Structures are given as structure tokens and as C-alpha cells.
Amino acid sequence: MQTPYTLVGRSLTWFDNDTSLEHLVREISELNVMAVSGAVKYPGGLWDMGCVQSAYRNFTLVYRSGYLHSLHECVFCNYTKGPFLVRTNFLQQRLFDKRIRNEEVMFRDFFHNQSYSNNQRIALCPDSDSTSLPGKTKLQFGASP
């Protein structure tokens, strides 16, 4: 790939007027993070910020929705539930673990390794959302189906 950024569109079904890739590109540069995401919007009007914190508690990895810090109208997370924009060179150096067959576990493992092992930050900008259906990978552009 020759682009500086790659959109990993997991569960992404379509882009609409609320999706701002330009905003994500601007924030990944200005915040100097490895990846940036937007909120997740579901058909029917429900949405989820998708920002998750992780911590070790009593020898157990625990996930909790929410964030601890914010900057530029974005919040910092250990894990994001939706599609995300990542630096291409970063992604090429740290591929997903192919031994993991479960998609959700694979993404949690990827973000966990980057957050803790490599001390990389993930930003989530809620005002740039994308419409998703869990487990679906069909991608459409334009108006809602």
C-alpha cells in the first residue's frame, strides 16, 4: 500500500453524511496516535461511542466502557468497537495474529498488544461516526440501504 493511512472497516455497512474521514485523517496526525475511530451508529438510530478501557485486575483482563482523557473533541481508548483509521506503516509492521479465528478476539488482542506492549494510543472522535452491523462486512457508499 502506498497511502499513509488505511481504513480497517470492520462491521462497516455504509458511509453517510455523519462520516468524516477528513476529520479522522486530521486527528490521527494532530494527536500523534497509531489509530483513530469514530462512534458506531446502528440502524434504527441507536449509537455507541465505542471507547473501551482495559485494565488488569486480580490477574484478569477487564474491559470497561468509557475514557479517562480527551483532547480536540476526541477521547483516548485502549480498544475501539468500530471501524478505525490506522497508519499504514504501523499496520504493516504489526499484523493481526492469524492464529486467532474469532474476529472480536483478534481485534481485542491487536489493540491490547499495542496499548500495553508498545505504549500506543488510540483516539476516538465521536462526531465522526459510521454505520455498522455487528458481524457484517458488506460495504456500501452513499445513502442508507
Ordered by start, the domain boundaries in the chain are: 5-132
Of 11, 6, 5, the residue nearest 83 (C-alpha): 11
Residue in the block written with cell 483513530 = 36
Per-residue pLDDT of 83-129, as tens digits, reads: 899 988 888 887 788 888 888 888 888 888 877 766 778 899 887 76
- Look at the chain and count its residues: 145
Of 115, 121, 126, the residue nearest 55 (C-alpha): 115
Residue 80 has pLDDT above 60, yes or no: yes
